[in-house]
Amino acid sequence: MYDKGKVITGLAIFFLVFTFPFWSNIGKTAPMPERSLDTPVLQEMAREAGLDLEQALKEGAINCVEDKDYIVSQHMHLLNLWRDSVVRSGNRMYAGAFGKRHEMSLSKSCMNCHSNKKDFCDRCHNYMNVNPYCWDCHLTPEQMGTASDAEVKQ
């Protein structure tokens, strides 16, 4: 191999620069954010079940429209399916996993329980650096006038 020294030095420098984002961030992992489920509507649902919120969530006394794991990993997909169903076929009701019928509406169903957009949606979306364009058109709980008290104060 000609110019062995130069080639290997060059490759080494390239490798260092290329992997800069990885080694410069070693040990600086940002902690995974915890989403908050503490909203007036969910508190009320727990009270109706005769439990406090944490217990009610743990025991499955209050549920989302689908299983929690499915919602955490697939909520964006579910929202797309809801959108197509409502907009294209005019079917607005959804048979939930826990025996209830829900209106397929981001503002009226999802955000009714999760009125704390900043502590529920935004925490994870900011962490993951995703910018869904929902709120360009749809109204936030604040704009709907249904935001939880803590949200309004912020």
Minimum distance, C-beta of residue 110 to another protein, in the bound complex (Å): 14
- Could you say which of 8, 13, 87, 152 contacts another protein (CB under 8 A)? 87
Reduced to 3 states, what is the DSSP secondary structure of residue 94? strand
- Could you say which of 54, 91, 127, 149 contacts another protein (CB under 8 A)? 91
Q: Which helix (H) or strand (E) holds 17?
A: helix 4-18
Q: What is the Cα–Cα distance from 95 to 91, expressed in whole angstroms?
A: 11
Eight-state DSSP code of residue 87: I
- Could you say which of 104, 110, 121, 147 contacts another protein (CB under 8 A)? 104
Q: Does 129 bind another protein (CB under 8 A)?
A: no
Scanning 14-22, 32-40, 48-56, 72-80 for contacts with another protein by CB under 8 A, the matching segment is 72-80
Instruction: Say which amino acid occupies 96.
Output: G
Q: What is the Cα–Cα distance from 50 to 44, expressed in whole angstroms?
A: 10
Scanning 25-33, 35-43, 55-63, 73-81 for contacts with another protein by CB under 8 A, the matching segment is 73-81
Q: Residues in contact with another protein, total (CB under 8 A)?
A: 35
Q: Does 95 bind another protein (CB under 8 A)?
A: yes
CB 126 within 8 A of CB 118: no
Count Cβ atoms below 10 Å from residue 56 Cβ, excluding itself. 21
Q: What is the Cα–Cα distance from 46 to 78, expressed in whole angstroms?
A: 25
Residues that bind another protein (CB under 8 A): 66, 70, 73-74, 77-78, 81, 83, 85, 87-97, 101, 103-104, 107, 133, 136-140, 142-146
